[in-house]
A and B are shown apart, each in its own frame.
Chain A
Amino acid sequence: MAAPLALVVVVAVTVRAALFRSSLAEFISERVEVVSPLNSWKRVVEGLSLLDLGVSPYSGAVFHETPLIIYLFHFLIDYAELVFMITDALTAIALYFAIQDFNKVVVSMTRIFRRKPGQSRPFIIWLSFFPSLCFLHSRLSVPDLTPNIGLFWYFFAEMFEHFSLFFVCVFQINVFFYTIPLAIKLKDHPIFFMFIQIAIISIFKSYPTVGDVALYMAFFPVWNHLYRFLRNIFVLVCIIIVCSLLFPVLWHLWIYAGSANSNFFYAITLTFNVGQILLISDYFYAFLRREYYLTHGLYLTAKDGTEAMLVLK
């Protein structure tokens, strides 16, 4: 089992090294769908130089990373590429082993069409305690309105000052609000809960990028068994592909050709996010249905013996 993993890791490292050295790296690092104020490497370097000069990196609206990151990169700035590559490889290997483990559990649970009562896994919540809360302010109040694939920048660009606090609260609540209800519903399925939570965070966070989208999409192969219960997968995949293709076209038309304007770009952003939300809810619904079939059998009959249908109400 280690051979395909090793092969994939080697291929991934090669591809990453080749891309990093190609002219594509410059081009991609400027793309607004990939780079946001949160993860922009230029901003990290800017923050480091501000730190060297003794100024707080959060004083302007340039730097939005956490303080741990800035201290970490203070020492690793020269080996940045190597650090990223090693981290990626480690993430891939860790995910691989975790999912292997999880798959064994899933298979054993489906073989017995009955849930073992009371078996739950403790799940890990990462809480890093940071020495300063400045980063929280710069991340939560969304001071940077560079367009990205998220929903915040357009609203806050056209809002008056005295309403902005209210809307910031409303928008940010969306990220945290679903945690408790989902935790109650999915208390026996921590991995699925983590997947849904990551997806919700990457849709509703202040500065999303395609990296966040790729993060939760990397988990789709884990839920392959849900595929047959998905209902709108075709339409949603088409929506997401079309929007991904139209992002650079409309960005070019807006910024370089000057013919379109922000409304065109935001329309595509809205459609993309709606597609993502529908995709996540489709997966959630498929999961619930599968759980129902696991406990009540695959062929449903109504009280009078005819075929029954499962409906979400």
Chain B
Amino acid sequence: MGLLSDPVRRRALARLVLRLNAPLCVLSYVAGIAWFLALAFPPLTQRTYMSENAMGSTMVEEQFAGGDRARSFARDFAAHRRKSGALPVAWLERTMRSVGLEVYTQSFSRKLPFPDETHERYMVSGTNVYGILRAPRAASTESLVLTVPCGPDSTNSQAVGLLLALAAHFRGQIYWAKDIIFLVTEQDLLGTEAWLEAYHDVNITGMQSSPLQGRAGAIQAAVALELSSDVVTSLDVAVEGLNGQLPNLDLLNLFQTFCQKGGLLCTLQGKQASGRPHGPHGLFLRYRVEALTIRGINSFRQYKYDLVAVGKALEGVFRKLNHLLERLHQSFFFYLLPALSRFVSIGLYMPAVGFLLLVLVLKALELWMQLHEAGVGPEEPGGASGPSPPLLPTQTVGLASLVAPLLISQATGLALYILPVLGQHVAAQHFPVAEAEAVVLTLLAIYAAGLALPHSTQRVVSTQAPDRGWMALKLVALIYLVLQLACIALTNFSLGFLLAATMVPAAALTKPCGPRPLWAALLVLTSPAATLLGGLFVWRELQEAPVSLAEGWQLFLAALAQGMLEHHTYGALLFPLLALGLYPCWLLFWNVLFWK
């Protein structure tokens, strides 16, 4: 216990922390950012490899040749869909039955909290159609899923065609050990969520759906397909799921192996930070089903692939998944993908966030020591007679004056979370806006109103210890921020790192003395909403489709609405985290800045 009980070494350490605090903080922040940037390079990244033995030993020969059949199915589907305006359930049922599957349907409906742009009404309803291919000699205990989401704007007719052609091809094989479910959902992700909830017999998002008539055992893996053209130039793989959850790396490795075998070009887009499910696979992950979404992209490249190539890749993936003896568990669940065949595991990417949070910890230590006049330390009563009455009187005063800002910030966060959806009708009555806009604008209004808080809280709280009250408040706010960022970084690394990189400097630098307008501008620029706005602009720049200010603002409003809607429909956690956790914390720093 040398360090903890030896007063000489403790004093030296305390002096070090106090004197070198600023350089250490800067060094730590730079180290964190540099470590993150270094994650793209060889010593920290590794090539991906198959960890699951059952999927690596045999190679398969793909025999899928149903390209024409897929195209004709696709044309029929598109025609029927245009005619009926919704999913052609009867046609799908007939076709699936003719291909040889057991067909079932499921109807669902959901009342949205507010109508968004795509749906424009409160009630959303639809029908899912799925067919089960029973494995000839197995006991129907495990299954695989191939799903195609059909929404009002994304017809995905080629994907449906390919699904049916694959079903016909798979029906003629004898080697299947697991059942295969071919699922066509309506209303995109809402239909997928309804099907999953009914399949697993839970009700976590308040969806009303009819119970499923046919089941096929525990789902081992799922692949979602989105194809809108007859030829593709590349396949885009979406890995990130709801709340940043990732599937087992082996599934991605498997798909990548088959793409390489067929010469298909695969691309990857990283969007983990938003915590949105970027495809139906994101919803499967919540039920512990490894899933991927594959999107066919038709861009201006020279070499194009037709549906046979995509079909062969999918056939290979399903045949390998057929070999699985247990759920995918060998490979990594927490990883970063700088490229499709390179990954970084959690042990190597966590130090980046660790260094960033170390800045806040150092600042908190410094504040604690300043509050207790360290260097002398509380264990040396033989010093000035000033600190000799114990710190309890100032402690109790400090604690009491802290409670008010904490409660008020938390209450504002609660208002930000509850009021927009609750008050949308009132807002739509008094102002000439639609409900969706009313919700978003209320959100922004409450957010901005929080900026005016310090002026009102100062009147409520009487400053008994004016000089050091802000130190105690900043200490509490720093610890609160560290806690939240640590929890976020564990579950969703990208979001955690992004928030840490933007909020840490502002949080560490905030103090009521010095150039206040500068600190205020810095704090506002790094608040969660501003980070979102800036992030959108940067993301569009990276996509080589830059937007103007007005378009960016519209995108921002749409993103806010999407975030709130997804929280209510799928249970995405980004919105409650920002409203109930980070925003009150940020308000505490704003209060510190304007402490009189």
Chain A residues within 8 Å of B, Cβ to Cβ: 224-225, 227-232, 234, 238, 241-242, 245-246, 249-250, 253, 257-260, 278, 281, 285, 289, 298-300, 307, 309-312
CA distance A94 to B264 in the complex (A): 76
CA distance A219 to B5 in the complex (A): 24
Residues in chain A near residue B482, CB distance under 8 A: 242
Determine the interface band of chain B, counting residues with CB < 8 A from chain A.
Answer: 20 to 34
Q: In the bound complex, do residue B5 and residue A285 qualify as a contact, i.e. CB atoms below 8 Å apart?
A: yes
Q: Does B49 interact with chain A (Cβ within 8 Å)?
A: no
Residues in chain A near residue B10, CB distance under 8 A: 231
Number of A-B contacts (CB under 8 A): 70
| B382 contact from A228, A285, A299, A311, Cβ within 8 A | A299
Q: In the bound complex, do residue A259 and residue B392 qualify as a contact, i.e. CB atoms below 8 Å apart?
A: no
Residues in chain B near residue A225, CB distance under 8 A: 390
Q: In the bound complex, do residue A312 and residue B391 qualify as a contact, i.e. CB atoms below 8 Å apart?
A: no
| B379 contact from A229, A234, A253, Cβ within 8 A | A229
Residues in chain A near residue B334, CB distance under 8 A: 259-260
Q: Does B235 interact with chain A (Cβ within 8 Å)?
A: no
Q: In the bound complex, do residue A258 and residue B333 qualify as a contact, i.e. CB atoms below 8 Å apart?
A: yes
CA distance A241 to B482 in the complex (A): 11
| A260 contact from B246, B333, B378, B379, Cβ within 8 A | B333
Q: In the bound complex, do residue B491 and residue A227 qualify as a contact, i.e. CB atoms below 8 Å apart?
A: no
| B390 contact from A227, A232, A289, Cβ within 8 A | A227
Q: In the bound complex, do residue A227 and residue B391 qualify as a contact, i.e. CB atoms below 8 Å apart?
A: yes
B57 nearest CB across to chain A (Å)? 25
Q: In the bound complex, do residue A224 and residue B490 qualify as a contact, i.e. CB atoms below 8 Å apart?
A: no
Chain B residues within 8 Å of A, Cβ to Cβ: 1, 4-8, 10, 245-246, 286, 288, 333-334, 364-365, 368, 377-382, 390-392, 479, 482-483, 486-487, 490-491
Using CB atoms, name the residue of chain B closest to A238.
B479
Residues in chain A near residue B381, CB distance under 8 A: 228, 298-299
Residues in chain B near residue A245, CB distance under 8 A: 483, 487
A-B contact pairs, 30 of them (CB 8 A): A227-B390, A228-B378, A229-B378, A229-B379, A231-B4, A231-B5, A231-B379, A234-B365, A241-B483, A242-B482, A242-B483, A245-B487, A246-B487, A249-B487, A249-B490, A249-B491, A257-B286, A257-B491, A258-B333, A259-B245, A259-B246, A259-B333, A260-B334, A289-B379, A298-B382, A299-B382, A300-B382, A309-B380, A311-B5, A311-B7
Ranked nearest first, the 5 interchain pairs of A and B with the lowest CB-CB distance are A259-B333, A228-B390, A299-B382, A258-B288, A234-B368
A33 nearest CB across to chain B (Å)? 16
Residues in chain B near residue A246, CB distance under 8 A: 486-487, 490
Q: In the bound complex, do residue B491 and residue A253 qualify as a contact, i.e. CB atoms below 8 Å apart?
A: yes
| B4 contact from A228, A232, A234, A249, Cβ within 8 A | A232
Residues in chain B near residue A230, CB distance under 8 A: 378
Question: Could you say which of A234, A246, A281, A311 has the most chain B C-beta atoms within 10 Å of its C-beta?
Answer: A234
| B392 contact from A227, A260, A300, Cβ within 8 A | A227
Residues in chain A near residue B7, CB distance under 8 A: 309, 311
Using CB atoms, name the residue of chain B closest to A234.
B368
CA distance A309 to B380 in the complex (A): 8
Residues in chain B near residue A238, CB distance under 8 A: 364, 479
Q: In the bound complex, do residue B5 and residue A241 qualify as a contact, i.e. CB atoms below 8 Å apart?
A: no
Given A231-B10, A299-B381, A307-B382: 12 more A-B contacts, CB < 8 Å = A224-B392, A225-B390, A234-B368, A238-B479, A242-B482, A246-B487, A253-B490, A253-B491, A259-B334, A298-B381, A311-B5, A312-B5
CA distance A258 to B327 in the complex (A): 11
Using CB atoms, name the residue of chain B closest to A236.
B4
